[in-house]
Amino acid sequence: MSDDHTHVQEFFGSRAADWDRRFPDDGPAYAAAVARLGLREGDRVLDAGCGTGRALPPLRAAVGRSGLVVGADLTPAMLEAAVRAGRDREGRLLLTDVAALPLRSRSLDAVFAAGLVAHLPDPAGNLRELARVVRPGGVLALFHPVGRAALAARQGRQLTPDDLRAEANLRPLLAGSGWDMTAYDDEDARFLALAVRAG
Ligand SMILES: C[S@@+](CC[C@H](N)C(=O)[O-])C[C@H]1O[C@@H](n2cnc3c(N)ncnc32)[C@H](O)[C@@H]1O
């Protein structure tokens, strides 16, 4: 277990039980972001860093019962909270690091990742691993229900030019990891970057 893993598990482990209660009004924002993936009945989708599985119900609704929904997370307590909330009925939960997914190459149509990228120790390598499991033409959504500036203000920090999710940084990061960025929205009430798996 690396220091990065331990830190993530401690940080989110202590927040897991209250996670959904802290953010009770986010459901529509998650549903709207999932809609931007353009999923179809029968598609196969991964929620990377799924936490308590808040995105799993809209993902399941989008792909239907014939589709595949997988939620992957590194923090056992977050997945336990997902099970308590019944979200294991919406998708298969995997306790795993997104840096090394137990999934076949090109086996998925899309990846949804909410609140994940800022916590990755090796963003380029980890985004490349997400690209590995998605077919060419498949889609990635990097989402947060709060925009970058509003989140920084909430956390009492300044937004700096080296911020990973700034458009000027994210576009080349994605391009170097197998993804072509196709949309970028950073508003107070939402951060959403979309990318397509390069052929
Ligand atoms: C900010 S929370 C977001 C949880 C959920 N996606 C949501 O929107 O409510 C980030 C989640 O990413 C998970 N995570 C962080 N690094 C990870 C990694 N390398 N592999 C898998 N999950 C990771 C954490 O355990 C945590 O549950």
pLDDT at position 1 over 70: no
Average pLDDT over residues 125-148: 98
Q: Which helix or strand (DSSP H or E) is residue 180 part of?
A: strand 179-187
Give pTM, 2 decimals. 0.96
User: DSSP assignment, residue 117?
Assistant: G
Which tokens go with 10? 């401690």
pLDDT at position 57 is 97
129 touches ligand 1 (CB under 6 Å)? no
In one-letter notation, the amino acid at residue 40 is R
List all residues 6 or more positions away from 152 whose beta carbon is below 8 Å from its beta carbon.
Answer: 158, 159
CATH architecture of 3-197: 3-Layer(aba) Sandwich (3.40)
pLDDT at position 102 is 98
Average pLDDT over residues 69-94: 98
Q: Which residue has the tokens 């690091």?
A: 97
Average pLDDT over residues 133-156: 96
Interval between CA 73 and ligand 1 midpoint (Å): 6
Q: Where are the domains of the chain?
A: 3-197
99 touches ligand 1 (CB under 6 Å)? yes
Task: Classify the phi-psi angles of 179: left when phi > 0, otherwise alpha if psi is within -120 to 50, otherwise beta.
Answer: beta
Interval between CA 38 and ligand 1 midpoint (Å): 23
pLDDT tens track for 13-24: 989 989 988 888
Average pLDDT over residues 38-67: 98
Average pLDDT over residues 118-147: 97
Interval between CA 40 and ligand 1 midpoint (Å): 25
Interval between CA 198 and ligand 1 midpoint (Å): 25
pLDDT at position 176 over 90: yes
State which of 2, 3, 12 you would mutate to test the pocket of ligand 1, scoring each by most atoms of that ligand within 8 A of its C-beta.
12
Query: Measured between alpha carbons, how far is 7 from 181 in angstroms, rounded to an integer?
Result: 30
